[in-house]
Amino acid sequence: MLKQANGTCEGCGHAAPFLGVDGTPFLEVHHVRPLAQMGSDRVENAAALCPNCHRRCHLAADGKAFTQSLYIRVKRLKEEHFDVTP
Ligand SMILES: [Zn+2]
Ligand SMILES: [Zn+2]
């Protein structure tokens, strides 16, 4: 679904580090707004990231800021706003 990324990570701009078993560049789909927080499964909410950048979104000290920067870097992405009651 995210083949428009052309095998390039949308986080760092580098080519995917290896080919997957199906022979296509391996990138992981990251939902910029987590599905658990009512983010959608649409391409406006999904970025194609290399494993490094994907882990960075989830685990890095600057993960939140890095994720937020995707909205600026990737024009396709649209920030989704919903009222979420914790
Ligand atoms: Zn990357
Ligand atoms: Zn993710």
Q: Give the number of whichever ligand sits closest to the CA of residue 51.
A: 1
Q: Give the number of whichever ligand sits closest to the CA of residue 46.
A: 2
User: Could you please report the per-residue DSSP string of the chain?
Assistant: --GGGTTB-TTT-PBPSSB-TTSSB--EEEESS-GGGT--SSGGGEEEE-HHHHHHHHHSTTHHHHHHHHHHH-TT----------
Range of the domain at 73: 25-40+47-78
pLDDT digits (tens, 9 = 90+) for 40-76: 999 999 999 999 999 999 999 999 999 999 999 999 9
| Number of domains the chain contains | 1
The answer to whether residue 31 scores a pLDDT higher than 90 is yes
Q: How far is the CA of 24 from the centre of ligand 2 (A)?
A: 20
Residue 6 lies inside a defined structural domain of this protein: no
Identify the pLDDT of residue 6: 83
Q: What is the mean pLDDT of residues 16-45?
A: 94
Mean pLDDT across the chain: 91
Q: What is the pTM of this model?
A: 0.87
Residue 59 lies inside a defined structural domain of this protein: yes
